[in-house]
């Protein structure tokens, strides 16, 4: 046996989906550099690429988009689930519970070794995640649900379901719509991170993909993973002004229970290439929305951290979550929605990894070993003979 907590040095699978070189700051989906995909592709094109392994032709792209967009509605009964949550429930809790509940609507999802059936669930899940996410948000603010508009793009429709008020047809701002689409591309997959590993581990018991994906979303929720974007915003708000940055950094370095959220990564020991692209998108978004006042604070934090020996020695750089929240906030997404905004685009990545796992003849049910350090065998003691 090997003892490797956190699997820092254990490859648990072979994969052909995503490549990361953490020292060089390289990220590729199916061989295509993330920079090129973020520049030239749209999110559904990338979802197709992740699942099928090749970029779609024009007609494949059109068919795939039509198919996904035809599945955007959720059952009216599923809406009642969302209605049952308290108004102040965290949207991620509502989101992942509703995803799990979908397995009760699509019971055929269990038939995981049928290729066509898997594809139908893929279409459904990619399609329904934005709807569930937006409905959770509307529930939390007491607004009526805004139904999908399938004439809009994937990201445009999500903005519609989030922000539509009384207009007959919601028209997304094209800059914000494209920015969101690029953010979705950047979050679509990231090889064997905590949530993908959960997806694979749960899927290895051969349950349906809705249940496995709810587990993956649960793993994403934590502040060390996909909840970091929310944690970054809360951290920036707590720091409050540039003057407080040195003291905050001191507390992080002194290990006073604080981490510089949005910094550091298990694999990247260089600038996260996604963070670089996000910084560029931020400029475009702020031209439309006005600059997020927290931007200067974030830049100052980055500047000081990148010059500080503590962060340099440990190779801690900004990751994808450091700047994404500033954009989401400028686009009027509430902070609690940020982890959900991570879960929507990670769906095609999770499902592609899940399919690769269940079709891989090398794979078995996930079942690590342990190093037992507990008591040796001992005899049961009757309660009246036990001391406190």
Among 82, 217, 316, 337, binds ligand CMC (CB under 6 A): 316
Q: 225 catalytic, yes or no? A: yes
Least distance to ligand CMC, CB of residue 253, Å? 8
- Phi and psi angles of residue 75, each rounded to the nearest 5 degrees, phi first: -60, 140
Residue 340 near ligand CMC by CB under 6 A: no
Cα separations (Å) of 127 from 58, 155, 238, 288, 360?
A: 20, 11, 36, 28, 26
Residue 252 near ligand CMC by CB under 6 A: yes
Q: 206 catalytic, yes or no? A: no
Residue 188 near ligand CMC by CB under 6 A: no
Interface characters, 191-220, with ligand CMC (x: CB under 6 A) = --x---------------------------
Least distance to ligand CMC, CB of residue 113, Å? 30
- Other CB atoms within 10 Å distance of the CB of residue 375: 6
Residue 228 near ligand CMC by CB under 6 A: yes
Place of tokens 């969101």: 180
Residue 302 near ligand CMC by CB under 6 A: no
Least distance to ligand CMC, CB of residue 369, Å? 21
Residue 226 near ligand CMC by CB under 6 A: yes
SS3 of 294-335: the string is CHHHHHHHHHHHHHCHHHHHCCCCECHHHHHHHHHHHCCCCH
Helix (H) / strand (E) containing 77: helix 76-83
Catalytic: which of 321, 360, 362, 376? 321
Least distance to ligand CMC, CB of residue 219, Å? 10
Query: How far is C-alpha 198 from the geometric centre of its chain's CA atoms?
Result: 13
- Other CB atoms within 10 Å distance of the CB of residue 15: 18
Residue 234 near ligand CMC by CB under 6 A: no
Interface characters, 259-298, with ligand CMC (x: CB under 6 A) = xxxxxxxx--------------------------------
Catalytic: which of 265, 272, 308, 360? 265
**Exposed, middle or buried, 299 (CB in 10 Å: 0-12/13-18/19+)?**
middle
Catalytic: which of 75, 149, 225, 360? 225
Q: 265 catalytic, yes or no? A: yes
Tell me 229's DSSP state: H
> CB of 66 within 8 A of CB of 124?
no
Which residues contact ligand CMC by CB under 6 A? 6, 190, 193, 224-226, 228, 252, 259-266, 314, 316, 319-321
Catalytic residues: 225, 265, 321
């Amino acid at each position: 046996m090997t003892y490797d907590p956190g699997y820092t040095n254990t490859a648990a699978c072979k994969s052909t989906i995503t490549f990361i070189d953490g020292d060089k700051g390289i990220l590729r989906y199916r061989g295509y550099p993330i920079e090129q995909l973020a520049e030239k592709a749209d999110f559904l094109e990338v979802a197709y690429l992740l699942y099928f392994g090749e970029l779609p032709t024009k007609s494949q792209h059109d068919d795939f988009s039509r198919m996904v967009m035809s599945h955007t509605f959720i059952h009216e009964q599923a809406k009642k689930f969302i209605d049952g949550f308290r108004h102040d429930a965290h949207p991620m809790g509502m989101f992942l519970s509703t995803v799990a509940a979908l397995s009760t609507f699509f019971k055929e999802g269990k038939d995981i070794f049928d290729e066509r059936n898997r594809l139908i669930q893929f279409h459904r899940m990619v399609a329904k995640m934005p709807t569930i996410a937006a409905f959770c948000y509307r529930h939390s603010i007491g607004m009526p649900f805004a139904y999908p508009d399938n004439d809009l793009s994937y990201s445009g429709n999500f903005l519609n379901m989030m922000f539509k008020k009384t207009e007959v047809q919601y028209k997304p701002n094209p800059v914000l719509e494209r920015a969101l689409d690029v953010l979705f591309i950047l979050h679509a997959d990231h090889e064997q991170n905590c949530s993908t590993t959960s997806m694979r581990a749960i899927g290895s018991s051969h349950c349906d993909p809705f249940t496995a994906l709810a587990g993956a979303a649960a793993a994403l929720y934590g502040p060390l993973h996909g909840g970091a974007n929310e944690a970054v915003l809360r951290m920036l708000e707590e720091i409050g002004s540039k003057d407080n940055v040195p003291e905050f950094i001191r507390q992080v370095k002194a290990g006073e229970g604080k981490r510089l959220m949005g910094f550091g990564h298990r694999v990247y020991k260089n600038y996260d290439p996604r963070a670089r692209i996000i910084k560029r998108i931020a400029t475009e978004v702020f031209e439309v929305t006005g600059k997020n006042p927290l931007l200067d604070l974030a830049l100052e934090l980055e500047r000081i951290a990148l010059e500080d020996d503590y962060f340099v020695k440990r190779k801690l750089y900004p990751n994808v979550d450091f700047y994404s929240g500033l954009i989401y906030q400028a686009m009027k997404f509430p902070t609690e929605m940020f982890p959900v905004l991570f879960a929507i685009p990670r769906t095609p990545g999770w499902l592609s990894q899940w399919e690769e796992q269940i079709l891989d003849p090398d794979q078995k049910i996930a079942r690590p070993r342990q190093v037992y350090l507990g008591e040796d065998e001992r005899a049961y003691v009757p309660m009246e003979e036990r001391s406190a």
